[in-house]
Amino acid sequence: MIHRVLIGGMAALALAGPAGATENTLADRLTSAEPEAGEQIFKHCRACHTIEQGGAHGNGPNLWGVVGRPVASAEGFGKYSDALRAIGGDWTPERLDAFLTDPHEDIEGTRMPFVGLDRPRARADLIAYLNRNSPAPLDLTIGAKKDAVLVEDEPPEFGVLFVAGGVEETHAYCTACHSERLVAQQGLDRDGWVELIEWMVDEQGMAEIEEPDLGIVLDYLTANYNIDRPNFPNR
Ligand code: HEC
Ligand code: HEC
């Protein structure tokens, strides 16, 4: 498998065999993490979390200042699982990295119904973004090797969703609670999709998708999953 790696800022191709480096340490990844890219990744979280200071709790707690915050400590969020309450300590970058990779594997019994993010650099970008939304951001570069060879992520995958403009946003927002297959098996006109998304907000606790993303998602769904079901998944 071929991975693009960045060496001292220069792109090069490297072969990553079984013995090849396919993942950097978190400290290495954080030195080059981009909060702006992390803001895009946060679309995977927006269905359930606000991040703004004083933002409302949704299905999940408000995440302002979560990096370095004691676990399960958001004031006024009454829905923490016993599993999360029991673990103690603070949300260090390391613990966030493990939790966000696969919440259920990391903390058995967590109530966070999110499948996880398997792209290591995307997680580092996301943690940098979370860290920026804080009254006291941590210095995330401590302990990093300056000469680290940074391995790029595999491109994101969208499962059975048809790859076209808007697939990235749609995948992020619409796989927060269930598989993308449920989306791909549906065929609706634009009004139908508007109604379905309203139902997700009113009955399933999904936070409203804000513009311009709402328009992007609706355009994508209407173009690719209309009543004639042009992309019904056959596999
Ligand atoms: C479908 C809803 C949902 C999605 C999507 C979701 N979360 Fe959560 N999140 C929750 C719930 C519910 C909890 C509380 C879990 C518990 O108590 O076990 C939680 C808890 C957390 C916590 C612990 C907070 C604390 O105060 O201890 C963090 C950190 C977190 N989520 C980050 C994220 C990030 C980052 C994403 C996006 C990659 C994300 N979540 C996606 C619902 C969600
Ligand atoms: C906050 C959680 C959540 C989010 C985010 C979410 N859904 Fe759902 N959705 C549900 C639940 C719960 C159900 C019903 C239970 C089930 O069938 O799994 C459902 C069901 C569906 C169904 C099947 C409806 C039916 O009639 O069988 C479709 C289609 C769907 N969602 C599309 C979407 C799309 C499109 C998005 C993104 C815009 C989305 N969902 C985001 C929670 C969510």
Residue 60: partners with Cβ closer than 8 Å, 6 or more residues away: 45, 48, 49, 77, 112
- The domain 23-151 having CATH identifier 1.10.760.10: the answer here is yes
CB of 50 within 6 A of ligand 1: the answer is no
Domain 167-224 in CATH: superfamily? Cytochrome c-like domain (1.10.760.10)
Asked whether the CA dihedral 225, 208, 206, 52 is positive or negative, the reply is positive
**Ligand nearest to the Cα of 129, by number:** 1
- Compute the distance between CA of residue 114 and CA of residue 91 in angstroms, rounded to an integer: 18
Does the predicted model carry a pTM greater than 0.75?
yes
pLDDT tens string 66-90: 999 999 999 999 999 999 999 999 9
> Does the CB atom of residue 115 touch ligand 1 within 6 A?
no
- Residue 40's nearest CA partner among 104, 100, 152, 129 is 129
Of 160, 191, 204, the residue with max ligand 2 atoms within 8 A of its CB, to mutate for a pocket test, comes to 204
103-115 pLDDT tens trace: 999 999 999 999 9
Whether the Cβ atoms of residue 58 and residue 50 lie closer than 8 Å to each other = yes
Nearest-atom index, ligand 1, CA of 71: 27
Give pLDDT, residue 234.
Answer: 82
> In this predicted structure, what is the pLDDT of residue 235?
67
CA–CA dist 12, 171 (Å, integer): 30
Specify the ligand 2 atom closest to the Cα of 193: 35
Model pLDDT, residue 9: 34
pLDDT for the residue numbered 141: 82
Domain ranges of the chain: 23-151, 167-224
- List pocket residues of ligand 2, CB cut-off 6 Å: 47, 59, 173-174, 176-178, 182-183, 186, 196-197, 200, 204-206, 217
- Residue 219: HSE in the Cβ half-sphere, 13 Å Cα cutoff: 12
Residues of the chain with pLDDT under 50: 1-20
